[in-house]
Amino acid sequence: MEILNECPVCKAQTFENFIKCKDFTVSQELFQIVNCTTCGFKFTNPRPGPIEIGKYYESSDYISHSNSSKGIINKIYQVVRKRAINGKIHLINSEVGKSEKSILDIGCGTGEFLAACKSQGWKTKGIEPNDSARSQGINNFGLDVEKEEVLASLTERFEIISMWHVLEHVHLLRTRVKQLYSLLNDRGKAIIAVPNYTSADAEMYKEHWAAYDVPRHLYHFSPDLIKRLFKEEGLTHIKSLPMVYDSFYVSMLSEKYKSGSNNFFSAFRNGFMSNQKAGNNPERYSSVIYIFQKD
């Protein structure tokens, strides 16, 4: 295990326990999430290091890598994913303006989103650390997908960099935000989707909230702190958008973790309730898309 002695956001060294969660998908081990008493940032500590974490992704249930359509929750995930891809394409088309359409998708998984970008005339590049997922993106869609290590040496620059539910998995958080800055064209935009533990569904499910997803989720972002972190690295927040399906998907998994079985009625009710409570505030939804622009 790796222990952080310094807060990744403010560098303070005093933490208190926030919540202890179980790894329900792979190891069934318990992990502590701590709260920085200076800035309030929440992170999993201690955590598996960059090599050790590999085994916590080894599960047939880890669907963004396996693309399996077994089981009812996976089936729903596949349907929602298709819809979500259309929404993401609409978003990047509206954010890119008249400039060249180039996108780098970090953590592109099996490549469905990037393939859709490519078919819409985007110049695409993907980064994916998982070998099997990366090969699928290359072989199924003819995409240009590389390992995570190449990020540091890329000379290309992009109008859009997207990370869909990926930043919370990255060990060297501030280093990655600095990389985003240098990989963007001037006035280019980073589109970052992460779970929101300040949402109503998180508050309701507490340690069973599926989007804590320890130890794979190393960081747990509030709207204020992700904006602060990016601002410090030259990326200004310009817009937040809600991810309205996530509360349902996360509630389905959370119900399963809480009671040991599927409970679609409660999941639907709680997902709906969470969205209702968020209303017209995008930063209260279960997951949030943040758009940052290079200064």
Cα(18)–Cα(44) distance, integer angstroms: 10
User: What string marks each residue from 191 to 230 as x (binds Zn ion by CB under 5 A) or -?
Assistant: ----------------------------------------
Window of 4-12, 218-226, 238-246, 262-270 that interacts with Zn ion by CB under 5 A:
4-12
Alpha-helical segments (H) within the chain:
63-66, 72-96, 112-119, 131-141, 173-183, 200-205, 223-232, 246-259, 264-278
Window of 28-36, 69-77, 94-102, 135-143 that interacts with Zn ion by CB under 5 A:
28-36
Q: Measured from the CB atom, is 220 or 258 closer to Zn ion?
A: 220
Matching residue, tokens 């509630």: 251
Window of 5-13, 115-123, 167-175, 207-215 that interacts with Zn ion by CB under 5 A:
5-13
* 34 near Zn ion (CB under 5 A): no
* 10 near Zn ion (CB under 5 A): yes
| Binder of Zn ion out of 1, 6, 12, 172 (CB under 5 A) | 12
Residue 137 contacts residue 128 (beta carbons within 8 Å) = yes
The encoded tokens of residue 230 equal: 């990016």
Q: Measured from the CB atom, is 141 or 197 closer to Zn ion?
A: 197
| Binder of Zn ion out of 41, 113, 212, 230 (CB under 5 A) | 41
CA atoms within 13 A on the CB side of 280: 0
Amino acid of residue 208: H
Residue 285 contacts residue 274 (beta carbons within 8 Å) = yes
Chain positions contacting Zn ion, by CB under 5 A: 7, 9-10, 12, 36, 38-39, 41
